[in-house]
A and B are shown apart, each in its own frame.
Chain A
């Protein structure tokens, strides 16, 4: 739809540049932050990429948000997680908590690695990013429940979930779990590291919650056709 609208608009550069708002005219293009896209020499570009480059010379581009970087260490999934953990706009604190969590996970695993006997060393996963991604994968539910009204009553109907929704649910469960059920004096990064390590081996409360969701969906299989009520 954005493509059709932009087809109708004539080429123009606005007099006033939108920088702070996230709702842009669909005419604007997304910024390209990765270094690799600019290093490629002319010869290697395919026809589409050449077209893209010419378009970029003419069309205005959206302002890049503060959390996209051209750093090789940036990870969009971690940025999303940081954004979800942020309270009252304090992204610095959320970022610090996440980096302390990753450090904590790495410390525990490297500690185990150095104290393990020679044969067991390869099995221990020390990369905190790999553990985070694995834990997230293990927490993602396969089916979700939707509240659908039929005949005056609301039924919990199992429905398929999109990828984004699954990721969102997994992250939200992890964060709520770590905020609520912990000892009063445990810090967030400590609790997060415990949960992520447990989730990466399919243990812990978040995995339990996901399995309960699956069980409910299995129990309400009979109402699945209500989706097309």
Chain B
């Protein structure tokens, strides 16, 4: 009887074909309903490690990401301090917060025959936009989607050590180092898809090298990694293939495009040409091809992005709203999109973070464990996640 009720609930929530994971979660729920409700591990931890099953009752609690997922899904993409924390605590725990829950609930209800929607996380510096993006990307990965994660669009716009004129188009410039690194990480994340998707077009790289029509995507990616000179064009080819093929009736994969620091794509660049004039964003192959992917003319997936002021160039420190950081061109390019605000920690989330650090032996100063110390920490960091991390690091 409980199973019948649950299958009815499942029919309402699941809209896409691959329902293995959600049905697994549903069976778990069924099992739990039949037995007694298992107690949560503690106030700040939850046993529910599947992002698809996170709901409002898990808000503010930490769930553990399995280390296999971290190695495949996040070779790049996690913030630097968080990666240090992973090594120190020997486990990867992320907090379930409202913005990512909201986007995950929208993703569950998407209609994949319509053009893909754009979600934008925005907020003050250090409120957890990148972490919300990583949570959503983890959900997409557990649902079996293809994940195209660009960890920081700003690194394609600054500090370029090698800038080559593009072989495909004379007016554009290549960045072989960044492109080959991205391809390597893309291969680590999406191993299973590389042997399934086939190219629909013939690509000629040099007089002797070409990739035939119908060859596997994996071959294309390997070509880009081994021949670093043509890696930017390979990236362009990969993005084009995926855009054309996703949403087609014969392809059975969903694509999640995750871009962190998307305001960099329309911003100014510090890269200079040989005659000291600055390079426009449209003159870089990588950026040009990525912008084509951010338009709304493909179906069968979603685009999840974040704004970032910390790595951005020529923006004021106090800008954080989409209008200010994206600028006119960016806003027109991203419009229409769904903005999701990421605020500072609420009181419950702060408590949860504080208790988690106490549990992991991170708050060592004897005074930091008292009420006075806690009040002082709240006063100093105003519940901003990154400030709290920096202050409590030396306590």
Query: Which has the most chain B C-beta neighbours within 10 Å: A72, A98, A99, A102?
Result: A72
What separation, in Å, do the CA atoms of A106 and B376 have in the docked complex? 21
Q: Is the CB of A127 within 8 A of B88?
A: no
Q: How far is the CA of A126 from the CA of B394 in the complex (A)?
A: 12
Total residue contacts A-B, CB cutoff 8 A? 49
Interface flags, A110-140, vs B, CB<8A=1, else 0: 1101110000000000111100000000000
Partner of A111, one of B88, B365, B366, B393: B88
Determine whether B367 belongs to the interface, using a CB cutoff of 8 Å to chain A: yes
Report Cα–Cα, A98/B367, bound state, in Å: 18
Number of B interface residues at 8 Å Cβ cutoff, please give it.
20
Residues of chain A contacted by B373 (CB below 8 angstroms): 72-73
With A127-B364, A128-B364 known to touch, is A72 a contact of B87 (CB < 8 Å)? no
Question: Main SS of chain A's interface residues?
Answer: helix
Report yes or no: B368 in contact with A73, Cβ–Cβ below 8 A.
Answer: yes
List A contacts of B368 (CB < 8 A): 73
B364 touches A126 (CB 8 A): yes
A52 CB–B CB distance under 8 Å: no
| Cross-chain contact A127 with B365 (CB below 8 angstroms) | yes
Instruction: Specify which chain B residues have a CB less than 8 angstroms from the CB of A102 in the assembled complex.
Output: 394
B45: min CB distance to chain A, Å: 16
Residue of A nearest to B367 (CB): A72
Name B372's contact: one of A72, A99, A107, A127 (CB within 8 Å): A72
The distance in angstroms between the C-alpha atoms of A111 and B393, with both chains bound, is 14
By size class, the interface of chain A is 10 to 19
Interchain CA distance A229-B360 in the complex, whole Å: 60
Could you tell me the distance in whole angstroms from the C-beta of B228 to the nearest C-beta in chain A? Answer: 28
CB distance from A57 to the nearest CB of B (A): 28
**Given B88, B90, B367, B393, which contacts A99 in the complex, CB threshold below 8 Å?**
B393
Cβ contact within 8 Å between A106 and B364: yes
Q: Is A4 an interface residue (CB 8 A)?
A: no
Q: Which of A93-113 contact B (CB under 8 A)?
A: 98-100, 102-103, 106-107, 110-111, 113
Contact at B361–A113, with CB atoms within 8 Å?
A: yes
With a cutoff of 8 Å between Cβ atoms, the chain A residues found around residue B89 in the complex are 110, 114
Contact B394 A115 (CB under 8 A): no
Kindly list chain A residues whose C-beta atoms are within 8 Å of the C-beta of B394: 98-100, 102-103, 106, 128
Interface assignment of A71: CB less than 8 Å from any CB of chain B: yes
Q: Report chain B residues within 8 Å CB of A114.
A: 88-90, 360-361
CB distance from B26 to the nearest CB of A (A): 35
Q: Kindly state the separation between the CA atoms of A121 and B356 in the bound complex, as whole angstroms.
A: 18
Contact: A71 with B376, CB < 8 Å? yes
CB-based contact A110/B367 at 8 Å? no
> Within residues 356 to 395 of chain B, which ones have a CB less than 8 A from any CB in chain A?
360-362, 364-368, 370, 372-373, 376, 393-395
Complex CA–CA separation, A114 to B362 (angstroms): 11
Q: Contacts of B393 on A, CB cut-off 8 Å?
A: 99, 103, 106
A-side residues, CB < 8 A to B, are 71-73, 98-100, 102-103, 106-107, 110-111, 113-115, 126-129
Q: With A100-B394, A106-B393, A107-B84 given, can you name 6 additional A-B contacts, CB distance below 8 Å?
A: A73-B365, A99-B393, A102-B394, A126-B364, A127-B366, A128-B394
- Using a CB–CB cutoff of 8 Å, the interface residues on chain B facing chain A are 84, 87-90, 360-362, 364-368, 370, 372-373, 376, 393-395
What are the 6 tightest A-B residue pairs by CB atom distance, in nearest-first order? A99-B394, A127-B364, A103-B393, A72-B367, A114-B90, A102-B394
